[in-house]
Amino acid sequence: MALLALPEDWDRALAVVAHPDDLEFGASSAIARWTAAGKVVDYVLATRGEAGVDTLAPEQCRVIRSAEQRASARAVGVEEVSFLDYSDGALTYSLELRRDLARAIRSHRPDILVSINHHATFGPGSVNHADHRVVGEALLDATRDAANRWVFPELVAEGLEPWHGVRFAAFNGSPAAHHFVDVTDYLDRGIASLAEHRVYLENLSGDFDLVKFLRSNAERAGAEAGVPLAVTFEMVSF
């Protein structure tokens, strides 16, 4: 099935992921394109990635990775970054998480949602992180919760009226991707965004070349999409 261009006839997006760096392994190049076009993109992260660096205690790591995420967001034109402060590596699907995500959706009132792969794997032989799976599934359900006055009525008491305006969710890095965004003019900004996660990258095992990784992925997706450079998304409509 040929890749289709992801619709871009919208004004506001909310990107929701589990950890600092999740968006930067692909989606941030698309986000750079969108903010350059005048669209507003805000970030909500379920955790601060405090369990992501083996050489740092969580108390120290969460401060560093939060700062790196904010710098990374600015590199692609995103100003608002918020954290739900769940425990990194220990996310579970819960009514509490759904309520917090529904609260974020009602607060930001986005036209679309952006996240990353929530399936069991990234493809054969590549198991997905448990936190990614949990956030993706909870986000899909929270979108309906955000539109329903009678689910989490305490949100209405907080002054957050239901929001019915989410058109679709776009999941980057999904093995079920059928859509793409042309990032030919924006990959360099995506690379700069990932590079802001310095402490995390320095502690990756092996010899990780972030430029080679992002460019090779974008070239491969671009060849499939018929453009020089692209990132792919699974699109789920509401």
Q: What domains sit in the chain, N to C, each tagged with a CATH number?
A: 15-237 (3.40.50.10320)
Q: Is the pLDDT confidence value at 204 over 90? A: no
Question: For residue 26, what pLDDT is reported?
Answer: 97
Place of tokens 């967001």: 73
Question: For residue 206, what pLDDT is reported?
Answer: 73
**Reported confidence tier of residue 37, pLDDT bands at 50, 70, 90:** very high
Q: Is the pLDDT confidence value at 205 over 80? A: no
How is residue 218 written in tokens?
Answer: 């974008």
Question: For residue 226, what pLDDT is reported?
Answer: 97
**Reported confidence tier of residue 34, pLDDT bands at 50, 70, 90:** very high
Question: For residue 78, what pLDDT is reported?
Answer: 98
Distance CA 155, CA 236 (A): 25
How is residue 68 written in tokens?
Answer: 């790196």
DSSP 27-95: HHHHHHHHHHTT-EEEEEES---TTS-TTS-HHHHHHHHHHHHHHHHHTTT---EEE--PPTT-----H
Is the pTM of the predicted complex or chain greater than 0.75? Answer: yes
Q: What is the pLDDT of residues 55-79, one digit of tens each?
A: 999 999 999 999 999 999 999 999 9
